[in-house]
Amino acid sequence: MLYSEVEFPVRYYETDQMGIVHHSNYIRYFETCRSKMMAENGYPVERCEEEGTLFPIVSIECRYLYPARMGDVLTVSAKVEKKPLAKFTFEQEVRNQRGEVCARGTVVVGFLDKKTGRPCRCPEGLASLFDE
């Protein structure tokens, strides 16, 4: 299993005229935490891309439970339980500074060979993190 967290304050431009964080930003928060997870485990996204593997999003599902607001400090988490073969499945969550869950979601990410443009398997080193 891999698990990562990242903490950051809400940015003003992320709010909308309802006075809360616009729902599309949670999708971006999820990504920010996945990037951190990749880097923490020695596979920064940008290096994987350079070495030939792209990570296209296959699907996203998100439930919005509690609005985040300007002034909040959010903790975003990402968890991968199963060893990825053709796909990565991330369980993701956004909590505020009081521990309230703002959003919870699942993101499925595929692997694409940059040269051929075709789906490929998870890079071996990345998959092997799950063997430990």
78, 34 in Cβ contact below 8 A? Answer: yes
Q: In angstroms, rounded to a whole number, what is the distance separating the alpha carbons of residues 5 and 124?
A: 24
Nearer to a copy of itself, 67 or 123 (CB): 67
Nearer to a copy of itself, 20 or 126 (CB): 20
Residue ranges binding a copy of itself (CB under 8 A): 8-9, 11-13, 15-20, 22-25, 27-28, 31-32, 35-36, 39, 44-47, 49, 54, 56-64, 67, 69-71
Element (H, E) at 77: strand 73-80
Among 16, 72, 113, 131, the active-site one is 16
Number of C-beta neighbours around residue 70 at 10 A = 14
Number of residues assigned to the chain? 132
Least Å distance, CB 97 to a copy of itself, is 13
Confirm whether 72 is a catalytic residue.
Answer: no
Residues assigned a catalytic role: 16
